[in-house]
Structure 1
Amino acid sequence: MKGQKGFALAATFSHPLQLAQPWRRLGRQLKRWWQLAEQRRQLAMLGDAQLKDIGLSRADALQEAERPFWDDPCSH
């Protein structure tokens, strides 16, 4: 019985790259969250003239800046 369980686990990750995939996905997700947080921080720092140039009001910018970093509009 013990050998069968070990074989099942070994068969699941038969290639070393399969072990790395979850870590890569996690790394990409963490990077994306950091980018979102940074972009929202920079958006909150823009002046009224800069916001007007991109077609946003101060209220729009603050609303976006207050969203949590995990709230990714591209993931929906």
Structure 2
Amino acid sequence: MKIRGCRVSAPLMQLWGECCRIVEWIDRSGEYSCIAVRGDATVAEIRECVRLHRSGQRHTLTDDPATPAGRVRLRRA
């Protein structure tokens, strides 16, 4: 799977004591997706979760050359 950009949040502590991270990415077709993973997930586990992600809402970002921003990009954290 080829992606345009990916961002992983810092660990977020939940009220019940567990920790998670939010993973967001944009694929080559401009589709934005996000998932939550365990806070201690390894790079390989995160990569596998992104590769297997199929369900949920889908949002398509378009590259419109007429807009000043040009390509849609994820902000750096």
- The answer, yes or no, to whether TM exceeds 0.5 is no
Q: Which has the larger radius of gyration?
A: 1
Q: Could you say which structure has the higher helix fraction?
A: 1
- State the TM-score bracket (shorter-chain normalisation): under 0.3
Q: Could you say which structure has the higher strand fraction?
A: 2
TM-score normalized with structure 1 length: 0.25
